[in-house]
Amino acid sequence: MWELTALLLLVPSSGQAATLEKPILSLHPPWTTIFKGERVTLRCDGYHPLLLELRPISTLWYLGHLLLPSHKKSIEVQTPGVYRCQTRGAPVSDPIHLSVSNDWLILQVPYAAVFEGEPLVMRCRGWYDKVVYKLHYYHDGQPVRYFHSSANYTVPQARASDSGRYQCSGTMRIPVESAPMFSAKVAVTVQEAGHAAAVRLLQIQSRRAPLRLGRRVHRPRARGRGAGIALVRGCYRQPQRPETQPLAAASGAGFSPGRGVHYRPGPTGRGFGAR
């Protein structure tokens, strides 16, 4: 019975679907540049309100303005362009830009935003994972790190000054050692730390239910009767198990009624009810 009551409370009285947060689009592996012929996986994570709609929630995929035929939660792609996704009733996700290269050398940077204080990781990759020798990383045209062979370049705690255009260079043995080759330049932006908390909050909130009309609470235990359950909208603290008493006294006993809560006497005592 309580499960049916909870289901009814989750349905808006107006009959309209609740507004959902936009889904989170992610890329696996997390690099925005790949070699021609390689494939990556895009995943669309959004809240699926099964209690509001009994049929499955489909996913829409966009490449630019083109609607893709797949409705799965994740897809494999190899075409360059701007990808977005959308779940039913939710806004369109933020975009991911995928680049495809024919060069011998590419510089791969993460697709997700990098904030101040977080590590910034990038890698210089040879054609289909060939080892890169005499590897140099450059920031705005200035060399910042040298490695004898293939290795990632990491800034442990990124700052705003680490924003700019990055590039790498090195040699490969194909089969003899080549002349130095350079990757294309890639723009990297380190965002202010103040934005990090807001982005994390949105990512967490997008996975929560958009509609919360009630919480399960225990009403005060009356003599000789078991504990009851009431679905209310309000704040719940650990009850002190008071005896049946008037509303004015009960409101200070660990329960703070919220909007829509009224007091009504029960058949054998007093209790709380909810409209």
Residue-by-residue DSSP string for 199-224: HHHHHHHTTS-S----EEEEPPPPTT
Rounded to whole angstroms, the Cα distance separating 105 from 181 reads 7
What is residue 91's predicted lDDT score, i.e. its pLDDT? 93
* Residue 137 tokens, joined: 């990383």
What residue segments make up the domains of the chain, in order of their start? 21-102, 104-197
Question: What is the CATH class of 21-102?
Answer: mainly beta
Architecture of the domain whose range is 104-197: Sandwich (2.60)
What is residue 185's predicted lDDT score, i.e. its pLDDT? 96
* Residue 122 tokens, joined: 């990038």
DSSP, res 74: E
Rounded to whole angstroms, the Cα distance separating 214 from 129 reads 54
List CB contacts of 222: < 8 A, sequence separation 6 or more. Answer: 243, 244, 266, 268, 269, 270, 271
Rounded to whole angstroms, the Cα distance separating 184 from 163 reads 16
What is residue 79's predicted lDDT score, i.e. its pLDDT? 97
What is residue 78's predicted lDDT score, i.e. its pLDDT? 96
**From residue 16, how far is each of 9, 10, 11 by CA, in Å?**
13, 12, 8
With a cut of 50, list the residues of the chain below it in pLDDT.
Answer: 1-17, 51, 204, 206-275
> Do the first three CATH levels of 21-102 and 104-197 match, i.e. the same topology?
yes
- Phi, psi dihedrals of residue 144, rounded to the nearest 5°: -120, -20
Indicate left, alpha or beta for 15 from its phi (over 0: left) and psi (-120 to 50: alpha): left
What is residue 129's predicted lDDT score, i.e. its pLDDT? 92
Q: Are strands 74-77 and 81-87 parallel, antiparallel or unpaired?
A: unpaired
What is residue 53's predicted lDDT score, i.e. its pLDDT? 54
What is residue 231's predicted lDDT score, i.e. its pLDDT? 38
Radius of gyration of the chain (CA): 28
What is residue 89's predicted lDDT score, i.e. its pLDDT? 81
Predicted model pTM: 0.63
What is residue 7's predicted lDDT score, i.e. its pLDDT? 38
CB of 171 within 8 A of CB of 132?
Answer: yes
Strand partners, 124: 107
DSSP, res 49: -
